[in-house]
Chains A and B, each alone.
Chain A
Amino acid sequence: MFFMVSCIGEEPLNPEADVEEFVIDPQLLTSKTIIDQANRKILIYIKPEAYQNGISPTLKLSKGATSSPASRTLIKFDQPVFYTISSESGGNQKKYEIEVVEIGTWTFNFETWTANSTSGYEFPLDNNIQIWSSGNPGVALSGVPAQADAYPTRSTNSGFNGTKAAQLTTLPGNFLSEFLGIKIFPGSFFLGDFNSSQALANPLAATEFGQPYFDMPDKFTGYYTYTPGATFQDQAGNPVAGQKDRFSLYAVMFNGPDRLNGSNINSSDKIIARAELPNDVPANTEFKRFEVPFTYIPGRTPGNNVMVAIVASSSYQGDTYRGAIGSRLVVDSLRIIAK
Chain B
Amino acid sequence: MVFSAFTLAQNKKDSLEFKVTAGLNIGGLSPIPLPDNIREIKSYDPGFNPSVGVEVLYRFRNKWKVGISPRVEYKGMKVKDRVMYFHTLIQMGDGAEMASFEGDFSGINYTESKNLYLGVPVFVEFTPGEKWHYRLGGYFAFLLDSRFKGTVSDGYIRNGGSLGEKVEVNSASFDFSDKVRKSDYGIYAGISRDVSERFSVDLSLQWGLRSAFPSSFSGISFPMYNIYAQIGTGYRF
Contact = CB atoms under 8 A, between A and B. Distances in A.
Of listed A9, A175, A197, residue having the most chain B CB within 10 A: A175
Interface stretch (B160-168, B177-185, B198-206, B209-217): B160-168
Contact of B27 (A1, A8, A18): A1
A137 B85 CA distance: 21
Interface residues of B, number: 45
Nearest to A89: B162
B99 A11 contact: no
A8 B81 CA distance: 12
Contacts of B100: 143, 176
Interface in B80-110: 84-85, 90-93, 97-102, 104
B143 interface: no
Size class of the contact patch on chain A? 35 or more
B158 interface: yes
B30 interface: yes
Contacts of A179: 92
A90 to B, nearest CB: 12
Contact of A7 (B33, B39, B77, B158): B33
Contacts of B14: none
Dominant secondary structure at the A interface: loop
B40 A4 contact: no
Interface in A1-23: 1-2, 4-5, 7-12, 15-18
B169 A201 contact: yes
Contact of A118 (B32, B156, B160): B160
A196 interface: yes
A74 interface: no
B159 A4 contact: no
A197 B165 contact: yes
Contacts, number: 105
A92 B39 contact: no
Given A1-B27, A196-B159, A180 B172 contact: yes
Given A1-B44, A37-B165, A177-B99, A12 B37 contact: yes
B163 A197 contact: no
A87 B158 CA distance: 15
Contact of B36 (A12, A137, A176, A177): A12
Interface of B: 27-28, 30, 32-34, 36-41, 44, 46, 77, 79, 84-85, 90-93, 97-102, 104, 156-160, 162-170, 172, 227
13 contacts: A1-B79, A4-B33, A8-B39, A8-B41, A9-B36, A12-B37, A15-B162, A18-B166, A94-B163, A144-B99, A176-B100, A196-B166, A199-B167
